[in-house]
A and B are shown apart, each in its own frame.
Chain A
Amino acid sequence: GRRSTSLQNKSALFSCVTGPKEIHSHENWSLSAEEFEIWNRLYRLKESDGVKEPILPQIQFETLENLEETSKPEEEGTHKLSLSEWSIWQNRPFPTSMVDHSDRCYHFISVMEMIELMRHEQGDCSYELELQPHLRIEDVNVQRNKSLLSMTKST
Chain B
Amino acid sequence: MEATGDEQRVLLEQRLRAAVHYTAGCLCQDVAEDKGMRFSKQAIAAIAEITFRQCENFARDLEMFARHAKRSTVTTEDVKLLARRSNSLLKYITQKSEELTSNTMEQKEKKKKKSSAAKGGRTSEEQEAPVSESEDSSMA
Contact = CB atoms under 8 A, between A and B. Distances in A.
Interface of A: 59, 61, 64-68, 103-104, 107, 110-111, 114-115, 118-119, 121, 123-125, 127-128, 130-132, 134-136, 139-141, 144-145, 147-148, 151-152
22 contacts: A64-B89, A67-B87, A67-B91, A68-B87, A104-B57, A111-B49, A114-B46, A119-B42, A125-B41, A125-B42, A127-B48, A127-B49, A132-B18, A134-B14, A135-B21, A135-B22, A136-B18, A139-B15, A139-B18, A139-B19, A141-B26, A145-B29
Contacts of B53: 107, 110-111
A134 B17 contact: yes
Contact of B45 (A61, A67, A128, A139): A128
Contacts of A68: 86-88
Given A107-B56, A111-B50, A127 B88 contact: no
B29 A134 contact: no
B29 A148 contact: yes
B21 A131 contact: yes
Interface residues of B, number: 33
Residue in B18, B42, B48 whose Cβ sees the most chain A Cβ within 10 Å: B42
Nearest to B19: A139
B18 A141 contact: no
Contacts of B138: none
Contacts of A104: 57
A58 to B, nearest CB: 10
Contact of A127 (B30, B45, B60, B86): B45
Nearest to A63: B31
